[in-house]
Amino acid sequence: MTRTTYRWAALFLALPLAVYIAFVVFPLLSSFYYSLTDWNGFDVNYNFVGLANFEKMFSDRLFSNAIGNTLIWTVAAIIVPTGGGLALALVLHERGIFANIYKSMFYLPIALALAVIGQIWLWIYQPNWGLINATLRNIGLENLAQAWLAKPQFALLAVILAWSWQQTALSMVIFLAGLTAIPQELIEAAHIDGANYFQRVRRVIVPLLAPASVVVIALAVINSLKSFDVLYVMTRGGPFHSSDNLAMFMYNESFQKYNMGYGSAIAVVLFLITLAVIAVYFRQSAQVERLYD
């Protein structure tokens, strides 16, 4: 590149970089700063408290509760959308016109905002006339009908299920793309060697889907860590914190209890966890790429 093109490149990059610094880097650094204060998010005066906010987490039952729920969500995110997406992709791969219709149907939830998905599932879980309870009553299982979102033992799982509905669609699309990349000869060769369908899936298709799987799992985990909207619409972390994840807990502390300093400390923890996941993702995807080069 010549000097002039460098200048032009710098000029064109300056604007997005400025936007990035103003809206990502600066807020990030300021929440690091506020995590060391007792700011209530509102007062002009606040004190520097060192690491007190981080110490508080160790004894805060609500924090360990939120960490536990985040962990449950992450594990569920690895299992449900990945398994469901893989199963759908295998069933719908190369099955002609009807499969395409089904693919579009399963893909549709991606077109919806998570807030809308939350609202739809609110109706599905509605205790009196919601789809689930109405179905249970119609098939004679009214004993199982529950106020799903009002019970602490069900609320979190109910929200995760709603969230997985969209995440599974995303996984399915990535796996479908991965499947088209698998050379047909390999599968045929396995077929001729006498491998049945499940052996072909286990020994040939799934290993060859490794690059897609890394993307699917990483996206699911990252999306689970940042999930807030669907939870906000459906339970707001309730009843009584039973469905709090870290993001919701952070919001509650910052904006409901006006502990902006503590809320920022939670945000820092959430950021570090997400950063660790992303680091693992980059390492894995680099390895997978090397494997297939």
Partner 1 sequence: MSIKRLLFGLTVFAVVLLIGGAVVMAQQQDISIVHYYSSALGQETMTALFDTFEAAHPEYKIVDNSAGHEDFKTQILVTIAGNNPPDIFSYWAGARTQFVVDADRLLPLTDFWDENSLDDIIPAGVKPAAVYNGEIYNIPMNVHIVGFFYNPKVMEAAGITEMPTTWDGFIAMCDTLKAAGVNPIALGSLNRWPAQFWFDYMVSYTAGADYRQALMAGEAAYNDPEVATAMETWKQLTDAGYFVPDANAYDWTDAADQVANGDAAMTLMGTFITGYWDGNGLVAGEDYDFFPFPVINPDLPVVTHGTVDGWAVPASAANPDGAKALLLHMLTPESQATWALGQGALAAVNNVDTSIYSPVMKKAADYLAQVQFLSGYDLSTTPPMAEGGLNMFAQFMNDPSGYMAYLDEAQAVADDVFGS
Query: Which residues in this chain contact partner 1 in the complex, by CB under 8 A?
Result: 40-44, 127, 147, 149-152, 238-241, 252, 255-259
**Least CB distance from residue 272 to partner 1, whole Å?**
25
Q: Which is nearer to partner 1, 44 or 97 (CB)?
A: 44
How far apart are the C-alpha atoms of 245 and 236, rounded to whole Å? 10
Q: Which is nearer to partner 1, 126 or 284 (CB)?
A: 126
Report which of 68, 82, 91, 215 is spatially closest to residue 156, judged by C-alpha positions: 68
Q: Which is nearer to partner 1, 93 or 137 (CB)?
A: 137
- Are 171 and 90 in contact, with CB atoms under 8 Å apart? no
- Are 164 and 127 in contact, with CB atoms under 8 Å apart? no
Q: Which is nearer to partner 1, 137 or 191 (CB)?
A: 137
**Least CB distance from residue 164 to partner 1, whole Å?**
22
How far apart are the C-alpha atoms of 245 and 124, rounded to whole Å? 22
**Least CB distance from residue 115 to partner 1, whole Å?**
12
Report which of 157, 160, 155 is spatially closest to residue 239, judged by C-alpha positions: 155
**Least CB distance from residue 102 to partner 1, whole Å?**
34
Q: Which amino acid is residue 279, in one-letter code?
A: A
Task: Classify the C-alpha dihedral 71-77-79-80 as positive or negative.
Answer: positive
**Least CB distance from residue 267 to partner 1, whole Å?**
16
**Least CB distance from residue 86 to partner 1, whole Å?**
35
**Least CB distance from residue 41 to partner 1, whole Å?**
6
Q: Which is nearer to partner 1, 200 or 241 (CB)?
A: 241
Q: Which is nearer to partner 1, 179 or 230 (CB)?
A: 230
Q: Which is nearer to partner 1, 8 or 26 (CB)?
A: 26
Greatest alpha-carbon pair distance for the chain in Å reads 78
Q: Which amino acid is residue 20, in one-letter code?
A: Y
CB-CB neighbours of 57 under 10 Å: 16
How far apart are the C-alpha atoms of 216 and 93, rounded to whole Å? 17
Cα end-to-end span (Å), the chain: 29
How far apart are the C-alpha atoms of 67 and 53, rounded to whole Å? 16
